[in-house]
Amino acid sequence: MPQSFYEPEQLADTRPCSALRDDLKFCIQNTDCYKKLNQTC
């Protein structure tokens, strides 16, 4: 019977804090200032 192996999704950024950076970027992009003015306050 063939075995199947799960390979986790690889992020483009492999730095140690890349997941934290992605979360912060997501939070900033969902603020009112960013949505209205396309810039951080």
The answer to whether residue 3 sits within a structural domain is: no
Average pLDDT taken over every residue of the chain: 78
What is the band of 23 on the pLDDT scale with cuts at 50, 70, 90? Answer: very high
d(C-alpha 28, C-alpha 21), whole Å: 11
d(C-alpha 35, C-alpha 29), whole Å: 7
The pTM of the whole model exceeds 0.75: no
Min mean pLDDT across 3-7, 13-17, 25-29, 30-34 is at 3-7
What is the band of 24 on the pLDDT scale with cuts at 50, 70, 90? Answer: very high
Residue 15 pLDDT: 82
d(C-alpha 3, C-alpha 6), whole Å: 10
The answer to whether residue 37 sits within a structural domain is: yes
Alpha carbon 35 to its chain's center? 18
The answer to whether residue 9 sits within a structural domain is: no
The answer to whether residue 31 sits within a structural domain is: yes
Please tell me the total count of domains within the chain.
1
